[in-house]
Every structure is written in C-alpha cells, then in structure tokens.
C-alpha cells in the first residue's frame, strides 16, 4: 500500500503542534519572519547566501526540535525533477563564456559558472521547500487566517476585501492535503480495476505516465468540492455581515519584535553574504 501513500512524502501543508519555542511567538511575527526569509531565498543570486540560508534552516530544525527525518522526507518526491532542472540549467546558462571552461558535451562548452548556476537553482528550491515545510508545520490554518487578516487590516481603509482574500488563502491551504487524499482514493480505485500501478518500478517517464490518468478525475472532484463549499457558505450566510468580530486577540510583544529582527538579519545575510 506504500505505492498509494502520497501524503507520506509531502509534509507541506500539514500542521503539527509540537510546542516548540517558535510556536510561542505571535503568529504575525512568524508570518513576517517566514515571508522575509523566503523572499530573500527567492531573490538572492548569491551561492554563499543560499548556503547560509539553508544552513540556518537546518540548524533551526535541530534547535527547535523538529522531526528532522519527517521534514527532509518532503524532498524525496520533487528531488528528481529538481535535479533535471538543475542539469538543464547547466546547458542553457545565458553566460556560457564566463569562468573557467571545464569540458565539452555535444558541442556545449561547460564552464564553472554553468555548474554554479545549476547548483544555485537546486539549493534555492531545496531551501524554499524546507522553509515552506517549517512554516506549514508551525502555523495552523486559523493562525494564518487571523494573522494575515491582521497584517493586511490597513488595506480596509481603501475598501480592499481583506477578509475574502484571507478566506481564499485558507481554502487553498486546506485543499492541499484534501487533494492528496482524493488522489490516493482514485489511484486505489484504478488499481483495483486492473490499472498497472507500480510506483516503485520504472524511471521518471513511468512515474509521469502514472500521474496522467489521475489528472481528469482529480480535476472533476476538485470542482465538485469547490461547488459544495460555495453552496455551504451561502447556506450559512457568509458575506452577510461586513464587520466580523474575532474570538482570539493577539498581542505583539518584545519577543516577537526580536524574532522579526533576527529574521531580518538572516534575510540580509542571505542577500548580501560576502563571497
């Protein structure tokens, strides 16, 4: 049954209440911290900065007592695709004449700068996946909803639909594990009807061929779920009150400010780490 266990290798989107020191910080501070670090990882072109950011994330996983084996398992599924992208990036580097030339393959001259470009792409995606995994494990759906709505509350003066935007974000995050569960049921149903479903055998193209028959039924099931959710929200009177109260009140303290300053320092180090 491991062939159908899709959620085993995807910890992203699954909240885990571990009572770590990070979870005791205000949810708005956590959202700001993760946003700054992930933005820095996305924008930096510095290899040393990416290595620094990845090391900080790994150290944070150990210090904060995260299940390291469970978190790193999320890299197993996308890792073959990331390696392929990195190899392609080596061959399509827009600056092939820069740096020391190493060897030539099929008429393409491979230089040191090409290998660095592929390594940067690989490390960037690995760091982003680990960062998003940590964020999803430490932020519950309700914390994300209330935190983002509180951070975007100044936009309400411009009549921006902040609450609707937050609901869209909440539903999107909730649909990630639901879609995996639906995909598991569809795969089991296809295998019970004689479909060749042997995930462990074959290469990359064999795995892609297994995913293609899942796309159409998964898409139709998602549309049905979305329609049912819309009808349920209408039946419960969603949107009838413009002013909504909140049961939970968050307080931004000095510990939260220190956490944001530390995250800002880490982001600056990722962007401007000396070579």
Q: What is the pLDDT of residues 21-73, one digit of tens each?
A: 787 888 889 999 999 999 999 998 888 899 999 999 888 888 777 777 777 77
**pLDDT on residue 149:** 82
The Cα-based distances of 207 to 172, 222, 237, 271 in angstroms read 26, 22, 44, 37
**pLDDT on residue 52:** 93
For the chain, the residue count is 275
**pLDDT on residue 3:** 53
Q: What residues contact residue 165 under an 8 Å CB cut-off, 6+ apart? A: 152
Which tokens hold the place of 86?
A: 């990195």
Q: Cα separation of 125 and 127, whole Å?
A: 5
Residue 10 predicted with pLDDT over 60: no
Residue 235 predicted with pLDDT over 80: yes
- Give the domain extent around 179: 2-272
Top mean pLDDT of 166-180, 242-256, 258-272 is at 258-272
Query: What phi, psi does 104 have (nearest 5°)?
Result: -130, 130
Instruction: Report the 10 Å Cβ neighbour count for 51.
Output: 16
Which of 100-104, 112-116, 179-183 shows the lowest per-residue confidence on average (mean pLDDT)?
100-104
The Cα-based distances of 225 to 3, 164, 185, 212, 252 in angstroms read 25, 18, 15, 21, 37
Q: What pTM was computed for the model?
A: 0.71
Q: Cα separation of 164 and 263, whole Å?
A: 29
**pLDDT on residue 264:** 93
Q: Cα separation of 272 and 49, whole Å?
A: 7
Total domains in the fold of the chain: 1
Where is pLDDT greater, at 260 or 88?
260
Q: Cα separation of 263 and 248, whole Å?
A: 25
Q: Bridge-partner residues for 105, per DSSP? A: 108
User: How confident is the model over 131-147, as pLDDT tens digits?
Assistant: 888 887 788 777 887 88
């Amino acid at each position: 049954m491991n062939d159908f266990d899709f959620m085993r290798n995807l910890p992203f989107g699954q909240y885990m209440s571990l009572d770590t020191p990070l979870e005791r910080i205000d949810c708005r501070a956590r959202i700001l911290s993760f946003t700054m670090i992930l933005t820095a990882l996305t924008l930096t072109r510095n290899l040393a900065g990416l290595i620094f950011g990845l090391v900080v994330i790994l150290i944070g996983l150990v210090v904060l007592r995260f299940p390291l084996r469970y978190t790193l398992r999320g890299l197993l599924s996308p890792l073959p695709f990331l390696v392929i992208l990195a190899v392609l990036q080596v061959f399509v580097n827009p600056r092939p004449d820069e740096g020391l030339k190493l060897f030539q393959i099929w008429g393409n001259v491979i230089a040191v700068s090409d290998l660095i470009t592929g390594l940067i792409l690989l490390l960037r995606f690995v760091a982003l996946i680990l960062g998003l995994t940590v964020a999803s494990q430490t932020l519950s759906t309700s914390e994300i909803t209330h935190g983002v709505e509180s951070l975007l509350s100044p936009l309400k003066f411009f009549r921006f639909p902040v609450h609707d935007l937050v609901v869209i974000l909440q539903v999107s995050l909730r649909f990630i594990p639901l879609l995996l569960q639906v995909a598991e049921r569809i795969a089991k149903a296809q295998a019970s009807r004689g479909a060749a479903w042997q995930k462990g055998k074959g290469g990359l193209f064999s795995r892609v061929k297994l995913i293609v028959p899942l796309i159409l039924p998964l898409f139709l099931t998602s549309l049905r779920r979305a329609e049912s959710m819309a009808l349920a929200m209408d039946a419960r009177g969603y949107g009838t009150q413009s002013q909504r109260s909140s049961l939970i009140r968050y307080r931004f303290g000095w510990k939260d400010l220190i956490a944001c300053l530390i995250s800002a320092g880490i982001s600056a180090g990722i962007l401007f780490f000396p070579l």
